[in-house]
Amino acid sequence: MFARSAFASFLLFATSAFAFNTVVIDPGHGGKDRGGIPGQRISEKDLALDVARRLRSDLRDAGLRTVMTRSRDTFVSLQDRVAIANAQRNAVLVSIHFNAATRGSASGIETYYFKSAAAPLAAKIQTRLLKNVSNEENRGVKPHRYYVLRKSRIPAVLVECGFLTNNREGARCLIAAHRQRLADAIASAVESAR
């Protein structure tokens, strides 16, 4: 049974490269939803939108069509985000978030997927982020039942770009050049997944 399922997942991965020309970019939170945890100093929603805008610019330069689930500081429900994603054909969804924890020492980058079709894209993004952004802890690529990942019919991944509750990482995320590196890494991973 193990060999059989291992072979099945190999086939899934081997055949999961798909042609897409559209990237749905989903900046986490927005409006009344700041993201993060109560009392958090650095606002997740603003940094997520900033990285998403930089990612949009990179992907457009690469000739991809982009759709933003929000392009301003507005509240968009998870249902509406999924509806935007599911209205697209030949598309993938990349959700941009920053992490938070009550334990201030928590740090690093992690990328999530739910459906196996999105696993290769998640792996590419995680690898490229760690390569382009030095001194970041690798928290790995993991399946998780996040709503947008479960409900999107297009392959969907969610990137946690670093912990805003970690003093060192939070300070780093406030630097525009660092957020540009994050966006550039995600963009080149998305381009390589086509």
Size of the chain in residues: 194
φ/ψ of 16, rounded to 5, equals -85, -5
User: Judged by CB, which is closer to Zn ion: 51, or 185?
Assistant: 51
Closest by CA to 48, choosing from 92, 96, 85, 84, is 96
The Cα–Cα gap between 61 and 58 comes to 5
User: Judged by CB, which is closer to Zn ion: 97, or 172?
Assistant: 97
* Contacts with 133 (C-beta within 8 Å, 6 or more apart), sequence order: 109, 178, 181, 182, 185
Give the shortest CB-44-to-Zn ion separation in angstroms: 5
| DSSP label of 90 | S
User: Judged by CB, which is closer to Zn ion: 7, or 140?
Assistant: 140
Residues lying near Zn ion in the complex (CB under 5 A) are found at 28, 35, 97
User: Judged by CB, which is closer to Zn ion: 97, or 139?
Assistant: 97
User: Judged by CB, which is closer to Zn ion: 20, or 114?
Assistant: 114
Closest by CA to 54, choosing from 174, 193, 186, is 186
* Residues 134, 136, 140, 141, CA torsion sign: negative
